[in-house]
Amino acid sequence: QITLQESGPALVKPTQTLTLTCNFSGFSLTTSGAGVAWIRQPPGKALEWLALIYWDDDKRYSPSLASRLTLTKYTSKSQVVFRMTNMDPVDTATYYCVHRSMGDAFDVWGQGLMVTVSS
């Protein structure tokens, strides 16, 4: 059974860097085809894809946010760390860590972590 759990601060100040950790189980990021994505959802708004890291360390970022995003995987710890720099109140959202299936869809989602950006 695949599970993912996001952790990190619930509140960050404007201009700070957000660091979120995804701890997962039930799969390995060394397995060919595996991937972990980050997706966010501002309150009352639509889902927004942010980034994806593959088993081979290939990384894809949302073009509109790429300059602010970094993904790192720690395979032995079954962790993916997500960083977003220069946080702004518009970045207030629930942030999800998600498993990429072999069918290229997002088949298992973490419960999400609400992050508020406010001074």
Among 12, 29, 36, 52, binds another protein (CB under 8 A): 52
**114/95 Cα distance (integer angstroms):** 6
Closer to another protein by Cβ: residue 13 or 114 = 114
Residue 27 in the binding site for another protein (CB under 8 A): no
Under the binding rule (CB under 8 A), the answer on residue 48 touching another protein is: yes
> Max CA-CA distance within the chain?
43
Q: Which of 72, 40, 70 has its CA nearest to residue 54? A: 72
Integer Cα distance of 47 and 96 in angstroms? 10
What is the total count of residues that contact another protein (CB under 8 A)? Answer: 23
Q: Which residue has the tokens 């060919």?
A: 32
Does 112 bind another protein (CB under 8 A)? Our answer is: yes
What span, in angstroms and rounded, lies between the C-alpha atoms of 109 and 23?
12
Q: How far is the CB of 100 from another protein (least distance, A)?
A: 8
Q: Which residues bind another protein (CB under 8 A)?
A: 37, 39, 46-49, 52, 60-64, 96, 101, 103-107, 109-112
